[in-house]
Amino acid sequence: MSTVFESVFSSIEAFVYRCRNDESYTMGFIEGSVEKILGYAPDELLENQVVAFADLIVAEDAEKVEAAVAAGIKTKSSWDVFYHLTHKDGSHIPVRERGSAVFEEGELKYLQGLVSFARGEKKLTDDIENMLNSSIEKYSEIANLTQSVIKSLSMLQMLSINANIEAARSGDAGRGFAVVANEIKRLADENQGQIEKIQSKLDQHQNQQEKAA
């Protein structure tokens, strides 16, 4: 049987298992790329001879795995869960497990499933997270820049008002002030409209991120 499984799993990094539904997920059968993924030979996991499978589940993921298995048992449906296992060398290995509970005459007999190395999935998750973090940083930079521009526009508007006041005080001599004041006001109004559009889009983006979170 081992030879058959070695042949089947020679080109893929995955293994099949059958275990008891106990605290250790005690393995009664486990074959495939076990040693390649975990560093342990299959025999070392059988009946917890060297290590229990449950003890290989990274602590941060244990509750998630337990919840997925419990939900599958309760609803008599399969589970699909991404988590990390501890390699013999201490490193954490990302895996994807698809499993199900087997019942006979309504009684739970054992759990079985397929565990595959999820290196590509982990990379994709990291890439997406980095992209989102990058987007958040860029959003913050744009938001800060927008606020800075809004302050600058407020200063332009005040400068326009002051220039108009000086123009009124200076009569004919202040016509130059009036021209400058009008140009400043036009520039401020024009940019204010663009900034309001940008701010509106940033607010919408932030609301969408908050809802998604």
- Is CATH 1.10.1040.10 the classification given to domain 123-212? no
Q: What are the strands, taking DSSP E only, across the chain?
A: 14-19, 27-32, 79-86, 92-104, 107-117
* Residue 53 structure tokens: 């499978």
Q: Each residue of 144-169: b (16+ CB within 10 Å) or e?
A: eebeebbeebeebbeebeebbebbee
Determine how many CB atoms are found less than 10 A away from the CB of residue 64: 14
Q: Structural domain boundaries of the chain? A: 2-117, 123-212
Between 69 and 138, the more confident residue is: 69
Examine domains 2-117 and 123-212 and report if their fold is the same. no
Share of the chain above pLDDT 90, in %: 39
Specify the CATH superfamily of domain 2-117.
PAS domain (3.30.450.20)
Residue 113's closest CA among 19, 49, 35? Answer: 19
| Torsion region of 181: left, alpha or beta (phi above 0 gives left; psi -120 to 50 gives alpha) | alpha
Residue 56's closest CA among 44, 74, 67, 68? Answer: 44
How distant, in Å, are the alpha carbons of 76, 109, 202 from that of 105?
Answer: 13, 10, 58
Q: What is the mean pLDDT of the chain?
A: 74
Angle between the 119-170 and 175-212 helix axes, to the nearest 10 degrees? 160
Sheet holding 79-86, edge to edge: 27-32, 14-19, 107-117, 92-104, 79-86
Rounded average pLDDT over 132-138: 56
pLDDT tens sequence across 33-73: 899 999 999 999 999 999 999 999 999 999 999 999 999 99
- Its pTM stands at 0.56
